[in-house]
Amino acid sequence: MKNIRFCEAELAEGFWKKRYELNRDVSLACVRDRFEESGRMDALRFKYKTGDSLHFFYDSDVAKWIEAVAYLIEAGNDMHEYEEVIDALIDSMEKHRRSDGYLNSYFQQIEPENVFRDRDKHELYCAGHLMEAAIAYDRATGKGKFLRIVCDYADLIDRVFRQEKTAGFTTSGHPEIELALYKLYAYTGEKRYLLLSEYFVFERHKNVQPCRDFANNKYDQCEMSVYDLALAEGHAVRAVYLYTAMAQLAFERKDAALLEALKRLFADMKKKMYVTGGIGSASVGESFTIDYDLPNLTAYSESCAAIGLAFLCLEMQKFGLNDEYGDIIEKILYNAGLSPVSLDGKKFFYENPLEVRLKEIAKQTSVVSGSQPKLPIPERVELFWCSCCPPNLNRFYARLGDFIFGEEKDGLVVHQYIASACRGLQMETEYALDGKVRLCAAEYNFPYLYVRIPRWAKDFHVSGSAASSDFEKIGGYARIPVAKTFDVVLDFGIRPRFIYADPRVCDDVGRCALAYGPIVYAAESADNGNELNSLLVNTDLTPRAVLNEKYGLYDFCADGEREEIFKDELYSETRPKRSECTIRFIPYFAFANRGKTDMLVWIRHN
Amino acid sequence: MKNIRFCEAELAEGFWKKRYELNRDVSLACVRDRFEESGRMDALRFKYKTGDSLHFFYDSDVAKWIEAVAYLIEAGNDMHEYEEVIDALIDSMEKHRRSDGYLNSYFQQIEPENVFRDRDKHELYCAGHLMEAAIAYDRATGKGKFLRIVCDYADLIDRVFRQEKTAGFTTSGHPEIELALYKLYAYTGEKRYLLLSEYFVFERHKNVQPCRDFANNKYDQCEMSVYDLALAEGHAVRAVYLYTAMAQLAFERKDAALLEALKRLFADMKKKMYVTGGIGSASVGESFTIDYDLPNLTAYSESCAAIGLAFLCLEMQKFGLNDEYGDIIEKILYNAGLSPVSLDGKKFFYENPLEVRLKEIAKQTSVVSGSQPKLPIPERVELFWCSCCPPNLNRFYARLGDFIFGEEKDGLVVHQYIASACRGLQMETEYALDGKVRLCAAEYNFPYLYVRIPRWAKDFHVSGSAASSDFEKIGGYARIPVAKTFDVVLDFGIRPRFIYADPRVCDDVGRCALAYGPIVYAAESADNGNELNSLLVNTDLTPRAVLNEKYGLYDFCADGEREEIFKDELYSETRPKRSECTIRFIPYFAFANRGKTDMLVWIRHN
Q: What are phi and psi of A540, to 5 degrees?
A: -85, -20
Interface contact flag, B367 A287, Cβ < 8 Å: yes
Of B218, B287, B574, the CB nearest to A500: B574
Residues in contact with B47: Cβ distance below 8 Å, sequence separation at least 6, in sequence order: none
Nearest CA in chain A to B361: A290
Q: What are phi and psi of A246, to 5 degrees?
A: -60, -45
Residue A543's identity, in one-letter code, is: P
pLDDT at A28 over 70: yes
**Using a CB-CB distance cutoff of 8 angstroms, which residues of chain A are in contact with residue B287?**
367-368
Does residue A604 belong to the interface with chain B, where contact is any CB pair within 8 Å?
A: yes
Check: CB of residue A281 under 8 Å from CB of residue A272. Answer: yes
Single out the residue of B507, B525, B539 nearest to residue B600, CA to CA: B525
Residue B589's identity, in one-letter code, is: F
**Using a CB-CB distance cutoff of 8 angstroms, which residues of chain B are in contact with residue A573?**
458, 497-500
With b for 16 or more beta-carbon neighbours within 10 A and e for fewer, the B31-48 pattern comes to bbebbeebbbbbbbbeeb
Strand pairing category for B448-452 and B411-414: parallel
Average pLDDT over residues B194-205: 97
- The span from the CA of A231 to the CA of A233, in Å, is 6
Quick one: DSSP state of residue B4? P
HEC assignment per residue over B164-227:
CCCCCCCCCCCCCHHHHHHHHHHHHCCHHHHHHHHHHHHCCCCCCCCCCCECCCCCCCCCCCHH
Determine which helix (DSSP H) or strand (DSSP E) holds B112, and give its type and residue range. Answer: none
Of B371, B501, B533, the CB nearest to A503: B533
pLDDT at A213 over 80: no
Angle between helices B303-316 and B236-253 (to 10 degrees): 10
- Chain A interface disruption, residue of B506, B512, B521, B567, most A CBs within 10 A: B506
Residue A64's identity, in one-letter code, is: K
Residues in contact with A354: Cβ distance below 8 Å, sequence separation at least 6, in sequence order: A274, A275, A276, A278, A296, A297, A299, A301, A522, A588, A600, A601, A602
**Using a CB-CB distance cutoff of 8 angstroms, which residues of chain A are in contact with residue B275?**
571
Of A218, A290, A363, the CB nearest to B293: A363
Does residue A215 belong to the interface with chain B, where contact is any CB pair within 8 Å?
A: yes
Interface contact flag, B368 A284, Cβ < 8 Å: yes
pTM of structure: 0.95
Strand pairing category for A477-481 and A448-452: antiparallel
- The span from the CA of B422 to the CA of B534, in Å, is 49
Average pLDDT, chain A: 95
- The span from the CA of A326 to the CA of B389, in Å, is 56
Interface of A with B in 350-409 (CB under 8 A): 357, 359-360, 362-363, 365-373
What local confidence, expressed as pLDDT, does residue B284 receive? 86
Average pLDDT over residues B565-586: 96
Strand pairing category for A535-537 and A553-563: antiparallel
What local confidence, expressed as pLDDT, does residue B5 receive? 97
Tally helices (H) and strands (E) across chain A: 18, 25
Among the residue ranges A17-31, B114-128, B199-213, B322-336, the one predicted with the least confidence is: B199-213
**Using a CB-CB distance cutoff of 8 angstroms, which residues of chain B are in contact with residue A366?**
215, 218, 233, 289-290
- The span from the CA of B455 to the CA of B476, in Å, is 8
Strand pairing category for A448-452 and A411-414: parallel
Interface contact flag, A290 B359, Cβ < 8 Å: yes
Does residue A483 belong to the interface with chain B, where contact is any CB pair within 8 Å?
A: no
Per-residue pLDDT band at B296 (split at 50, 70, 90):
very high
pLDDT at B464 over 70: yes
Interface of A with B in 11-70 (CB under 8 A): none
Q: Tell me if ipTM is over 0.90.
A: yes
What tens digit of pLDDT does each residue of A416-428 get? 999 999 999 999 9
Interface contact flag, B214 A564, Cβ < 8 Å: no
Task: Work out the burial of residue A145: count CB atoms within 10 Å of its CB; fewer than 13 is exposed, 13-18 middle, 19 or more buried.
Answer: middle
pLDDT at B104 over 70: yes
HEC assignment per residue over A329-341:
HHHHHHHHCCCCE
pLDDT at B44 over 80: yes
Check: CB of residue B521 under 8 Å from CB of residue B556. Answer: yes
Interface contact flag, B499 A363, Cβ < 8 Å: no
Residue B372's identity, in one-letter code, is: Q
Average pLDDT, chain B: 95
What tens digit of pLDDT does each residue of A501-551 get? 999 999 999 999 999 999 999 999 999 999 999 999 999 999 999 999 999
Among the residue ranges A312-316, B84-88, B515-519, B565-569, the one predicted with the least confidence is: B565-569
Q: What are phi and psi of B424, to 5 degrees?
A: 85, -10
The alpha carbon dihedral of B94, B95, B99, B105 has a sign of negative
What local confidence, expressed as pLDDT, does residue B555 receive? 98
Of A289, A371, A572, the CB nearest to B367: A289
Structural domains present in chain A: 38-203 (no CATH), 219-363 (no CATH), 405-491 (2.60.420), 500-605 (no CATH)
What local confidence, expressed as pLDDT, does residue B467 receive? 66
The count of other CB atoms within 10 Å of the CB of residue A212 is 12
- The span from the CA of A396 to the CA of A384, in Å, is 18
Does residue A219 belong to the interface with chain B, where contact is any CB pair within 8 Å?
A: yes
CA B222 to chain centre: 23
Nearest CA in chain B to A516: B573
Give how far A587 is from chain B: nearest CA, Å.
18
Instruction: Give the whole-number percent of chain A exceeding pLDDT 70.
Output: 98
- Chain A interface disruption, residue of B361, B540, B571, most A CBs within 10 A: B571
**Taking CB atoms and an 8 Å cut-off, how many pairs form between chains A and B?**
181
Residues in contact with A489: Cβ distance below 8 Å, sequence separation at least 6, in sequence order: A436, A437, A438, A439, A462, A463, A464
pLDDT at A605 over 90: yes
What local confidence, expressed as pLDDT, does residue B372 receive? 64
Interface contact flag, A503 B576, Cβ < 8 Å: yes
Half-sphere exposure for B308 (CA within 13 Å, toward CB): 23
CA triplet A328, A331, A333: central angle to 5 degrees? 105
Longest CA span, chain B: 79
Does residue B564 belong to the interface with chain A, where contact is any CB pair within 8 Å?
A: yes
Interface contact flag, B368 A273, Cβ < 8 Å: no
What local confidence, expressed as pLDDT, does residue B364 receive? 67
With b for 16 or more beta-carbon neighbours within 10 A and e for fewer, the A224-249 pattern comes to eebeebebbbbbbbbbbbbbbbbbbb
Q: Dihedral through CA B555, CA B20, CA B346, CA B549, nearest 10?
A: -30
DSSP string, B438-457: EEEESS--SSEEEEE--TT-
What local confidence, expressed as pLDDT, does residue B365 receive? 57
Task: Work out the burial of residue A409: count CB atoms within 10 Å of its CB; fewer than 13 is exposed, 13-18 middle, 19 or more buried.
Answer: exposed
Check: CB of residue B241 under 8 Å from CB of residue B174. Answer: yes
Of B275, B366, B575, the CB nearest to A571: B275
Interface of B with A in 195-214 (CB under 8 A): 213-214
What local confidence, expressed as pLDDT, does residue A364 receive? 67
Beta strands (DSSP E) in A416-530 are: 420-422, 425-429, 436-441, 448-452, 461-464, 472-474, 477-481, 486-491, 496-501, 511-516, 519-524
Interface of A with B in 80-109 (CB under 8 A): none
Residue B126's identity, in one-letter code, is: C
- The span from the CA of B410 to the CA of B404, in Å, is 17
Bridge partner list, B520: B515
Q: What are phi and psi of A210, to 5 degrees?
A: -55, 140
| A144: three-class secondary structure by DSSP | coil
Determine which helix (DSSP H) or strand (DSSP E) holds B288, and give its type and residue range. Answer: strand B287-288
- The span from the CA of B546 to the CA of B433, in Å, is 11
CA triplet A342, A345, A351: central angle to 5 degrees? 40
Q: What are phi and psi of B470, to 5 degrees?
A: -90, 45
Of A285, A504, A570, the CB nearest to B270: A570
pLDDT at B373 over 80: no
Instruction: Give the whole-number percent of chain B exceeding pLDDT 90.
Output: 91
Check: CB of residue B63 under 8 Å from CB of residue B132. Answer: yes
DSSP string, A80-128: HHHHHHHHHHHHHHHHHS-TTS---HHHHHT-GGGTTT-TTS-HHHHHH
**Using a CB-CB distance cutoff of 8 angstroms, which residues of chain A are in contact with residue B569?**
270, 502
What local confidence, expressed as pLDDT, does residue B210 receive? 76
Residue B392's identity, in one-letter code, is: N
Give how far B126 is from chain A: nearest CA, Å.
24
Check: CB of residue A204 under 8 Å from CB of residue A226. Answer: yes
Average pLDDT over residues B503-527: 98
Average pLDDT over residues B2-30: 97
Interface of A with B in 423-482 (CB under 8 A): 458
Residues in contact with A66: Cβ distance below 8 Å, sequence separation at least 6, in sequence order: A86, A89, A133, A136, A137
pLDDT at A229 over 60: yes
Give how far B256 is from chain A: nearest CA, Å.
24
Interface contact flag, B576 A500, Cβ < 8 Å: yes
Give how far A312 is from chain B: nearest CA, Å.
20
What tens digit of pLDDT does each residue of A467-509 get? 667 899 999 999 999 999 999 999 999 999 999 999 999 999 9
Per-residue pLDDT band at B50 (split at 50, 70, 90):
confident
Check: CB of residue A338 under 8 Å from CB of residue A301. Answer: no
- In whole angstroms, how large is the CA radius of gyration of chain B? 24
Nearest CA in chain A to B221: A367
Interface contact flag, B290 A359, Cβ < 8 Å: yes
Residues counted in chain A = 606
Give how far B371 is from chain A: nearest CA, Å.
7
Interface contact flag, A367 B282, Cβ < 8 Å: yes
Check: CB of residue B226 under 8 Å from CB of residue B204. Answer: yes
What tens digit of pLDDT does each residue of B384-418 get? 888 899 999 999 999 999 999 999 999 999 999 99
What tens digit of pLDDT does each residue of A349-401 get? 999 999 999 998 888 655 655 556 678 999 999 988 888 999 999 999 999 99
